[in-house]
Amino acid sequence: MKKLHLLIVLSVLLAFAGCGSTDIKNSSKSSIDQKVDSLLSIMTLDEKIGQLTLYTSDMDQTGAFLRPEYLEDIKNGDVGAIFNAYGAEYTRKLQEIAVNETRLGIPLMFGYDVVHGHRTIFPVPLAEASSWDLDMMKQTAEIAAREGAAEGLHWTFAPMVDISKDPRWGRVIEGAGEDHYLGSRIAEVKVQGFQGDDLKDLNTLAATVKHFAGYGAAQAGRDYHSVDMSDRELREVYLPPFKAAIDAGAVSVMTAFNDLNGIPATANSYLFQDILRDEWGFDGFVVTDYTAIMELLFHGVAENEHQASKLALDAGVDMSMQDGYYHQTLADLVEDGRIEESQIDRSAGYVLRVKFQLGLFDDPFRYSSTERQEQEIMTPENIEAARDMAKRSIVLLKNENQLLPISEDIQTIAVIGPMGDNQRDMIGSWSAAGDWTKSVSLLQGLKNQKPDIEFIFVEGTGINDDSRTGFADAVEASQRADLVILALGESYEMSGEAASRTDISLPGAQEDLAREIHATGKPIVAVLMNGRPLTINWLDENIPSILETWFLGTTAGDAIADVLFGNYNPSGKLPMTFPRNVGQIPIHYNMRNTGRPFDPNSKYTTKYLDVENEPLYVFGYGLSYTTFDYSPVSLSSKSMDVSGSIDATVTVTNTGNRAGEEVVQFYLHDKVASVAPRVKQLKGFEKIYLEPGESKDVVFNITNNDLKFYRLDMSYGSEPGEFMIFIGGNSRDTQNAEFELQD
């Protein structure tokens, strides 16, 4: 029986589905459902459980442990999907085992964390979010998918859409920052970019929206820690990006590691059954995070493997990643009646449906082509797109006396600091199959752009050590230069998974190095490379120009040089607040007002004794080499009812002498509501390009949808009354207006 070939499976399917062979190639979703049912009807229980099991190969390691016998597992039909395996040849080899050596020859699905690029590495997600450029973000997902799919992949574990207001948490680097409106728009375009219009298209990857849910609110920013939050906060802030991704068509969802209000996400039927399936109608499949079913034992909600698997399956979790718990226990659980076989059918059906959608039953090897691999990987167009995205992701935090862009008169530049000639860290964490040796360091980028300038590079100190032995050389080099570029930051391992910090200042002796260089009196530009907002008060007070560049990927150095020399006018805006110190965390712009709003003249109002309430840099903040003026807001009407709408218009003028882009941001505030309103909530934005002296009208159309929130009884809707509108280039400096929603 072992070698009943795939073709036989297909003919059985045809018979069951009653359709011809052309049909199977151009199948619509409902005919896919028929095929799934037919296939399930000939599968044994073990074969179905196999489809619910995902193991890693040993090509890459993204979690605590490997399973050396994964090849045997494939041969035995015990595994339906493999991750951390890529490359046309290797995926073909594994697929051949599944197709030729198992009874039904059901193809494997290959997954990988193609998060911000596959081989061509784009800026880390937090950096891309700083661009507020949805078209570009979609394009980078498209390219990532094309490269990944050309190397045999079918499925990416992205986008990560966890909202976080806590920069101590290392995984803020993987997301879109603190705001759910921006996060939702990015989630949508990422899913569209990865998946395209049809999963069968060879240039696409199935997307996984992760980590469901609440992971970004881990207590005290410590990774994997508990999350306790109200249903209102969950639904209003943490869930919308997931909903947006699912509405955009994401076919899989990954569970989170944390517990949510005491119930581990991986055993949480409120999340997976009530919200995801019942409320949102999700019909893709749910995969756990790495060994998350096993971790139910450590959470303390299961005594043994069987109980853990039952909890997860009952909660609506379809596929287990890496712990093998489903593989080991589901058959027993069916046998002794603790779970129904129909539960297995349901989950296996969800997984098989995606395999059909990917076209794997048409040709299991269609993605594994050495030819396509050679054509698609790191093409000049991909590299160019990476540079384009990278320069758009840079945020200019400070620029006193227009020190930037660097003047044409400068002849000697000292590049000082551990990030100055650093390639390794440029591609950041979760850089898939990216090769850091192909990334462009800042120094290299500067030289590429200005071969006639003399660059003197001195590291000065390490990223995270206290060594001061290089200070003297750094000072001496600075003294010889007309300008100093101080390249400071974190190593790529200081953010990402399992990389939380309680002190988010510049690590090691870097700030001391900055002080020494500052004492030379030379003009200094600080270029920061890091995976989270940092506390950089001293730099802000003392260094005239500061660029936040995050980790910009393969073309980092070229993109930074584009901005430093003014070939590109920076246009990024912060997607996450920069606190003044760790004590202010969690800090975010869309808080509620308190009953004692801050008043400097009154003791009993909300404040700290030792630091002001305001952050160092607010959400949405970022400068340009030009300046933009905002007209007062004009409203098409001062009132509307629930079926109406109002246009809020501002005229934005480029008042400087360079062309530039501006992210025009639109916020709302409900003045009085049954639930304390947020002081401001982003509801729209538009990135515009203006020549010097040029003006543009930017119009935001306000409808009842923008005014909705979770009301006192948790129904989602608006309440009549007065609203405020804020429009500006960041969340603080805005033009304001008011209107009324009538009964």
Where do contacts with ligand BGC occur on this chain (CB under 6 A)?
62-63, 113, 157, 210, 289-290, 497
| Helix 240-247 vs helix 180-195: crossing angle, to nearest 10 | 30
Alpha-carbon span 591 to 304, nearest angstrom:
42
Question: In this structure, are residues 6 and 24 in contact, taking their beta carbons and an 8 Å threshold?
Answer: no
Instruction: Supply the minimum distance, in Å, between the C-beta of residue 289 and ligand BGC.
Output: 5
Name the residue with tokens 């700030």.
Answer: 511
231 is catalytic: no
Instruction: Supply the minimum distance, in Å, between the C-beta of residue 304 and ligand BGC.
Output: 23
Give the nearer residue to ligand BGC in terms of CB position, either 160 or 389: 160
Instruction: Supply the minimum distance, in Å, between the C-beta of residue 502 and ligand BGC.
Output: 21
Instruction: Supply the minimum distance, in Å, between the C-beta of residue 93 and ligand BGC.
Output: 21
Instruction: Supply the minimum distance, in Å, between the C-beta of residue 257 and ligand BGC.
Output: 6
Instruction: Supply the minimum distance, in Å, between the C-beta of residue 675 and ligand BGC.
Output: 33
Give the nearer residue to ligand BGC in terms of CB position, either 157 or 726: 157
Which residue among the candidates 179, 289, 421, 706 is catalytic per the annotation?
A: 289
Q: Three-state DSSP class for 199? A: coil
Instruction: Supply the minimum distance, in Å, between the C-beta of residue 115 and ligand BGC.
Output: 8
Give the nearer residue to ligand BGC in terms of CB position, either 224 or 280: 224
Give the nearer residue to ligand BGC in terms of CB position, either 210 or 580: 210
DSSP category for residue 469: T
Question: In this structure, are residues 620 and 731 in contact, taking their beta carbons and an 8 Å threshold?
Answer: yes
Give the nearer residue to ligand BGC in terms of CB position, either 62 or 704: 62
Instruction: Supply the minimum distance, in Å, between the C-beta of residue 118 and ligand BGC.
Output: 14
Instruction: Supply the minimum distance, in Å, between the C-beta of residue 497 and ligand BGC.
Output: 5
Provide the edge-to-edge strand list for the sheet that holds 285-287.
208-212, 252-255, 285-287
Torsion of CA 71, 73, 78, 80, to 10 degrees: -30
DSSP category for residue 654: E
| Helix 325-335 vs helix 341-357: crossing angle, to nearest 10 | 140
Give the nearer residue to ligand BGC in terms of CB position, either 158 or 182: 158
Q: Three-state DSSP class for 147? A: helix
Alpha-carbon span 595 to 605, nearest angstrom:
8
Residue with the CB atom nearest ligand BGC in the bound state: 62
Q: Three-state DSSP class for 402? A: helix
Tokens for 176? Answer: 């879109």
Question: In this structure, are residues 272 and 286 in contact, taking their beta carbons and an 8 Å threshold?
Answer: yes
Instruction: Supply the minimum distance, in Å, between the C-beta of residue 171 and ligand BGC.
Output: 8
Give the nearer residue to ligand BGC in terms of CB position, either 499 or 559: 499
Sign of CA dihedral 319, 325, 328, 331: negative
* 177 closest CA partner among 463, 550, 426, 539: 550
Alpha-carbon span 292 to 325, nearest angstrom:
10
Give the nearer residue to ligand BGC in terms of CB position, either 255 or 461: 255
Burial of 457 (0-12, 13-18, 19+ CB in 10 A): buried
Give the nearer residue to ligand BGC in terms of CB position, either 156 or 577: 156
Alpha-carbon span 329 to 308, nearest angstrom:
9
CB-based contacts of 459, cutoff 8 Å, min separation 6 = 416, 417, 418, 420, 421, 470, 474
CB-based contacts of 626, cutoff 8 Å, min separation 6 = 569, 654, 655, 656, 657, 658, 659, 660, 690, 692
Tokens for 249? Answer: 């068509």
Could you tell me the end-to-end alpha-carbon distance of the chain, in angstroms, rounded to an integer? 70
Instruction: Supply the minimum distance, in Å, between the C-beta of residue 227 and ligand BGC.
Output: 15
DSSP string, 34-49: HHHHHHHHH--HHHHH
Give the nearer residue to ligand BGC in terms of CB position, either 17 or 321: 321
Alpha-carbon span 291 to 409, nearest angstrom:
58
Alpha-carbon span 500 to 502, nearest angstrom:
7
Alpha-carbon span 17 to 32, nearest angstrom:
9
Give the nearer residue to ligand BGC in terms of CB position, either 206 or 525: 206
Q: What radius of gyration do the chain's Cα atoms show?
A: 27
Active centre residues (catalytic): 289
